[in-house]
Amino acid sequence: MKEPEAEEQSSKESKKAVSVDLGITRLATLSDGCFLENPKPLERSLDRVRLLQRALSRKRFLSNNWLKTKTCEGTRTRKGF
């Protein structure tokens, strides 16, 4: 007959628990030393925002072309920039 305590110990050894520490500098740090970086959507899209802002600043204020650039008609970006 098998002992139930021996079965429990062998099942506990195969499972590894990892603790997670959420932070500001890094999104998550695991107890085994791995870490996940924070997603930075602004920094990823900053070049695109700069190009759109430059294009908008070169248009005459409240002209039809300024309004089209402001609402992003004719471009493949989302509205609101």
Of the pLDDT bands very low, low, confident and very high (cuts 50, 70, 90), residue 77 is: low
Per-residue DSSP letters for 4-47?
HHHHHHHHHHH-----EEE-SSEEEEETTS-EEEPP-HHHHHHH
Per residue in 40-69, pLDDT (tens digit) is 888 888 888 888 899 999 999 999 999 988
pTM for the whole structure: 0.42
Amino acid at 73: E
Choose among 57, 59, 27: nearest CA to 40: 27
At residue 22, φ and ψ (nearest 5 deg) are -90, 135
